[in-house]
Structure 1
Amino acid sequence: MGLLQRQNGYTNIKICGLSKPQDMMTANTLTIEAVGLVFFPPSPRYVTPQQALQLTSILNDQIEVVALVVDPSDELVAEIRSQVRVDIWQFHGNESAKRCAEIAQSTPWMKAARIDHQFSLQDFCLEYNECAAWILDAVVEGYGGGGQTFNWQLIPEIWIKENAHRVVLSGGLNSHNVAEAIAYFQPLGVDISSGVEITRGNKDPNLMQQFVDAVRLTDQFNSFKGS
């Protein structure tokens, strides 16, 4: 099952910002749907297309590869396409919906929303209605991976009920708060980066396993409660 496929009582998982062979080997042992590769040079999790090619050669074919970009140039997009298996594009910059669709072509794509008091959820959803999923993230320096949650109550409950099937929740998630996050949003998926790191950009296998365990236990508990 892929990151964008919804199954009742099951929360899809994406671990983002993997940058080392060991990260991929750990990912292969986990029940996750996707990994994210960051093609944004200022990020401590940045990888080049050449590095990404090596990393994805290690990855299990059943795990999807998400290419995270921030206002990418045509040259970078072409280089990624020529070297990397991309199952989903993830846009974190100021890309218009038209630009996202042009880059993604026939590949599914997601658009990140950086939530704060000034953010207009209605305008965002109207503009990016054609995307496969919306990533709800916090406003942090560096476009994600800041380890901060946003105020979940900024998202109206009625919107959540109508759109949870298109939400990949991000922003400051970890093994301690993900159960609460799933209970609140019942999202299509959850997306974690800094919450499984020992230092910025350095993933910890134990934290990765703990997060996956927390999500799967939450799903099991919710299924039992609803039965």
Structure 2
Amino acid sequence: MAAVRSKICGITRIEDALVAAHAGADAIGLVFYPPSPRAVSIHQAREIVAALPPFVTVVGLFVNASRCEINETLDAVSLDLLQFHGDETPEQCAGYPRPYIKALRVRPGDDIAAACERYRDARGLLLDAFVEGVPGGTGSAFDWNLVPANLPKPIILAGGLTPENVTTAIEKVRPYGVDVSGGVEQSKGIKSSLRVKAFVEAVRRTN
């Protein structure tokens, strides 16, 4: 099994980005969705990105954003990867000068293999818990048994992950990567350095 990557999402402060980077996280996530308590402004995002050391992937998260809004963000912030976390179609995810991953909120009966084919241009699929009316960041886990083995795209597992359960999640799902936000926070949008380090270390031990 290849080494599982880790992403710390919902970063709002430089100090939290640096904790994630120095702990060994492969990526950080910046939320460009104003209703989220973890949303960042363009100014905040630029400062966070400027402070990062090299080799940390910066992911920009959008929820049903307009093409104009996304392009304006890309013009202003050095993002490496786009994450579409709303109801975006494959056509709405395509056509940007950055690769993308598509988030799916998983429910029983969902055909994840078919979604891999539908979003064939995505670099991977992020699987999150379904909570009615909330696009993500709920802190809820879903039934990991719903994830089929041997999917044709890299899978990033999200939803309710914590330093305490991420090892079990990795052993169960065998994902390409894991994505955490609320599970390493001391309050919404503010990370706990101890929990970030514990999460990344747990992923490394599993590897």
TM-score interval w.r.t. the shorter chain?
Answer: over 0.9
Q: How far apart are residue 153 of structure 1 and its match?
A: 1.4
In structure 1, stretches of 5+ residues that fail to align are: 1-7, 220-227
Are 2:41 and 1:39 equivalent residues in the alignment? no
Larger relative helix fraction: 1
Residues in 1 aligned to 2:49 and 2:151: alpha-carbon distance in whole angstroms? 35
TM-score (structure 2 length as normaliser): 0.94
What does the per-residue CA deviation read over 1:128-173, in whole Å, with 9 as the maximum and x for residues that have no partner? Answer: 12210000110135321111110111223xxx2244x610111111
TM-score (structure 1 length as normaliser): 0.86
What does the per-residue CA deviation read over 1:102-127, in whole Å, with 9 as the maximum and x for residues that have no partner? Answer: 2x33x221000100125332442221
Residues in 2 aligned to 1:114 and 1:210: alpha-carbon distance in whole angstroms? 26
Residues in 1 aligned to 2:190 and 2:134: alpha-carbon distance in whole angstroms? 16
**Local SS of the residue matching 1:90:** strand
Report 1:70-85 matches (<5 A).
70-85=63-78
Are 2:107 and 1:119 equivalent residues in the alignment? no
Residues in 1 aligned to 2:140 and 2:160: alpha-carbon distance in whole angstroms? 4
Residues in 2 aligned to 1:191 and 1:80: alpha-carbon distance in whole angstroms? 22
Structure 2 match to 1:28: 21
Structure 2 match to 1:152: 144
Return closer, same or farther for 1:84/1:116 CA change in 2, 3 Å cut-off.
same
The equivalent position to 1:197 in structure 2, one of 166, 177, 185, is: 185
Structure 2 match to 1:209: 197
Residues in 2 aligned to 1:21 and 1:32: alpha-carbon distance in whole angstroms? 15
What does the per-residue CA deviation read over 1:185-225, in whole Å, with 9 as the maximum and x for residues that have no partner? Answer: 21111110011011222211110001011111111xxxxxx
Larger Rg, first or second structure (1 or 2): 1
Structure 2 match to 1:225: none
In structure 2, stretches of 5+ residues that fail to align are: none
Are 2:167 and 1:176 equivalent residues in the alignment? no
Q: Is the 8 A contact 1:43 1:142 kept in 2?
A: no
Are 2:98 and 1:98 equivalent residues in the alignment? no
Residues in 1 aligned to 2:54 and 2:137: alpha-carbon distance in whole angstroms? 25
Q: Read off the aligned partner of 1:145 and give its amino acid letter.
A: G
**Number of paired residues?**
206
Q: How far apart are residue 14 of structure 1 and its match?
A: 0.6
Residues in 2 aligned to 1:84 and 1:13: alpha-carbon distance in whole angstroms? 22
Residues in 2 aligned to 1:180 and 1:45: alpha-carbon distance in whole angstroms? 27
Structure 2 match to 1:130: 121
The equivalent position to 2:61 in structure 1, one of 61, 68, 76, is: 68
Residues in 1 aligned to 2:71 and 2:147: alpha-carbon distance in whole angstroms? 36
Q: Read off the aligned partner of 1:56 and give its amino acid letter.
A: V
Q: RMSD of aligned C-alpha atoms?
A: 1.5
* 4+ aligned runs moved over 3 Å, structure 1: none
